Amino acid sequence: MKFKVSQEPFLQGVSRVSGVIPTRTPLTFLYNIHATLSENSLTLTASDGDVFLITTVQVEGLEPGSILVPARPLLDLLREMPGVEIEFTTSPEQHLIVNTSKGKFTIPGEDPSRFPTAPKDWPPHKLAFSSQELKNILDQTTFAVSHDELRPALTGLLLQFMENEMRAVSTDGHRMVKLVRTSAEPVVAAEGEVEVIVPLRTLNLLQRNLDEVEKVDIYLANNRVVFDTGNLIITSKVVEGKFPAYDAVIPKDNPQHLQMDLEPFTAAVKRVSIFANPINRLVVLTLEQTSVKFFAEDPDSGRQGEEEVEALYTGQSFQIGYNANYLLEALRHMPGSAIDLYLGSPTSAGILKPRENATGQDLMMLLMPIRLQ
């Protein structure tokens, strides 16, 4: 294999796929990038065994071929060669020879036949999103995905596509996010309802690459999902297992209603939570008709924090406690400038919603309280 290319586009391509490469694995060939040259197109593929990242870089192709090259030394070298025209050649010993006008570098490679092959066929169901739409969906949902490997079905984002509706649901058992987007146009064919659980790692890799593209095509099957951004293809296994019946845990009757501006609510929780118990991070909300009082204390150190903020509250006066970290994370991913909190009792889940949802969208965040002594 032999080709010439400028440093910048090649560095972008290598950087784009290297994010999936594992930091530690017994399968040492996964530390490599698989480079394949055909005419003037250089295809770069990296994988962790479950997820494949594939991109194409336009080069001046001189001799077709392929090689497995270690990602780390290649990436480090390219970063130190700004604006340089580079010639790459493979040797019979499977070494990658890097030549510039002033230097020569040799990176030992491996036999490309060792590298796993990415699935060639594309799943049957195709959907299209703008990158901004997808950013918003992922930002508002993925923070609640569980990291508990003992509950694998919760370690991904549930995506459900009906005829005129898309749902994205995440939960870790302490909180849940349900985002529903409706469309006048069919999302999938009437007989083609699709449901998959996409691993959080796959979604994180996708999020890193959304800033430089305008749209994303998604291809879905029951066991695989493919994201095509135009300059990057991400193909991934889905999480096996049955996602919980999430609608069953949403309270049907939460008559207490708190209305507040998002910024002062968030700021008060941040200040008061500084004094919360470091173990359970408990912040207590006392709800009155015209205000909400935030209180936290750490009995071991004697620290206390209390603050009262104006609010509009309809319902019986009572206290409810939340983990400050979970509450703040929900508020941080809440769109708009005002929120509604619907409550039933001090021991039942509260429902947090933005005052105004985007057109065709219904976002709901559910938070389990901490039982007060």
Question: What mean pLDDT is predicted for residues 281-307?
Answer: 95
Query: What is the model's pLDDT at position 262?
Result: 96
Average pLDDT over residues 336-345: 95
pLDDT digits (tens, 9 = 90+) for 69-84: 999 999 999 999 999 9
Mean pLDDT score, 190-213 = 88
pLDDT at 187 over 90: no
Categorize the per-residue pLDDT at 194 as very low, low, confident or very high, splitting at 50, 70 and 90: confident
Domain range summary for the chain, segments of one domain joined by +: 2-114, 125-246, 250-367
Q: Does domain 2-114 have CATH number 3.10.150.10?
A: yes
So what's the pLDDT on residue 373? Answer: 80
Residue 314 CA to residue 287 CA, distance in Å, equals 9
Pinpoint the alpha helices (H) of 142-261. 200-208
- Express each pLDDT in 265-284 by its tens digit: 999 999 999 999 999 999 99
Average confidence (pLDDT) over 305-324 = 94
- Quick check: 359 pLDDT over 60? yes
CA torsion, points 328, 329, 333, 334, in degrees to nearest 10? Answer: -40
Contacts of 365 (CB under 8 A, 6+ apart): 144, 175, 176, 177, 178, 330, 333, 334, 351, 352, 353
Q: Judge contact between 62 and 1, C-beta under 8 A.
A: no
Look at residue 192 in the predicted model and tell me its pLDDT.
62
pLDDT computed for residue 358 by the predictor: 84
Helix (H) or strand (E) holding 262: helix 262-273
**Structure confidence at residue 189 (pLDDT):** 53
Q: Where are the beta strands (DSSP E) in 7-114?
A: 32-38, 41-47, 51-58, 60-63, 65-70, 85-90, 95-99, 104-108
| Chosen CATH of 250-367 out of 3.10.150.10, 1.10.10.60, 3.40.50.300, 3.90.110.10 | 3.10.150.10
Amino acid at position 161, single letter: F
- The answer on pLDDT for 186 being more than 70 is no
Structure tokens at 150: 């003992």
If you average pLDDT over every residue of the chain, what do you get?
93
pLDDT value at position 148? 93
């008061």: which residue's tokens?
A: 272
Alpha-carbon distances, residue 262 vs 307, 332, 333 (angstroms):
16, 9, 11
Under the banding of pLDDT at 50, 70 and 90, the label for residue 162 is: confident
Residue 124 has pLDDT above 90, yes or no: no
Average the pLDDT over 99-119 and give the result.
Answer: 93
Residue 58: what pLDDT? 97
Q: Does domain 125-246 have CATH number 3.20.20.70?
A: no
- 364 has pLDDT over 60: yes
pLDDT surpasses 60 at 135: yes
- Region of poorest pLDDT, from 6-20, 99-113, 183-197, 239-253: 183-197
Confidence class of residue 212 from pLDDT cuts 50, 70 and 90?
confident
pLDDT recorded at residue 190: 46
Note whether 226 and 218 are within 8 A (CB).
Answer: yes
